[in-house]
A and B are shown apart, each in its own frame.
Chain A
Amino acid sequence: EPEVTQTPSHQVTQMGQEVILRCVPISNHLYFYWYRQILGQKVEFLVSFYNNEISEKSEIFDDQFSVERPDGSNFTLKIRSTKLEDSAMYFCASRERGGPAQYFGPGTRLLVL
C-alpha cells in the first residue's frame, strides 16, 4: 500500500539555524499539506500546496517558513531561522484529486536547542 514518507525521523538543531524537512507524498496525489503538533497540544494546520503554489496558510506559517516541490516526488518544509518554539512533530500529508481524505506520513520530530 502506498505511503507518505518523511525524512529525517528526528532532527536536533541550534536556535537560528535553518532546517529542511522532507516528504515524499503518495505518487498520484496532487494536494500536499504540512501540520505540526507541539508536545501535549493539538495537531495544527500549517500550509496547503497545490499546482506548485500555496493554497492556504495559517497564521503560524510566517516568513520564516517556506515550502517547495523541487521535483516530481519531494515536498519540503524549510524553516529559515529556527526558534525554540518551533520544536514539534511535523507531519506531511497528501490527498488525491477525487477525495477529501488526507494521508499522513510518520512525522519528523524537530528539537530546537
Chain B
Amino acid sequence: AQSVTQLDSHVSVSEGTPVLLRCNYSSSYSPSLFWYVQHPNKGLQLLLKYTSAATLVKGINGFEAEFKKSETSFHLTKPSAHMSDAAEYFCVVIRPWFGNEKLTFGTGTRLTIIP
C-alpha cells in the first residue's frame, strides 16, 4: 500500500519569500509522485510530476520538487511567493504503472501569502 503525509496543514509566508511545503511518502514500490494545486472554487491542477526520471522536477508557476529516496520525501518549493500562489496543495502518490492506478492524496496544505 502507498500513502503520503503532508506535514503541515497550513503554511503562511510573506510575498517574495521562499515557499516550502513538506510531503513524505510511503510505498512498497518505487512510486510516482505528484503535486496538485486547488485554487478556491476551482478544480485540481497538476503542478508537477515525478516518474523515476530526474529527481529534481520543475513544474508550472516556478514550483519545484525534489525526490529524495533516502528521506522518503517529495517537498515542494518555490524561491519567491506570489499572491496568486495562495491555494490548497496536495501531494499525491500512485502505484507503479500498470495502466489503471488510483491516486492516493495527502490531506492537503493550505498556503497563505501575506502581502
Contact = CB atoms under 8 A, between A and B. Distances in A.
Interface size class of B (residues with CB under 8 A): 20 to 34
B32 A91 contact: no
Contacts of A91: 43-44
B104 A45 contact: yes
Interface in A46-89: 48, 50, 55-56, 58
Interface residues of A, number: 25
A43 B101 contact: no
B57 to A, nearest CB: 12
Interface centre among B42, B105, B107 (most CB of A within 10 A): B105
Interface string B74-115: 000000000000000010001001011111111110000000
B104 A104 contact: no
A57 to B, nearest CB: 9
Given A100-B49, A100-B97, 13 more contacts: A33-B103, A35-B103, A50-B100, A58-B102, A91-B43, A91-B44, A93-B44, A100-B51, A100-B101, A101-B34, A102-B103, A104-B45, A106-B42
Closest CB pairs A-B (n = 4): A55-B100, A106-B43, A45-B102, A104-B44
Interface of B: 32, 34, 36, 42-46, 49, 51, 90, 94, 97, 99-108
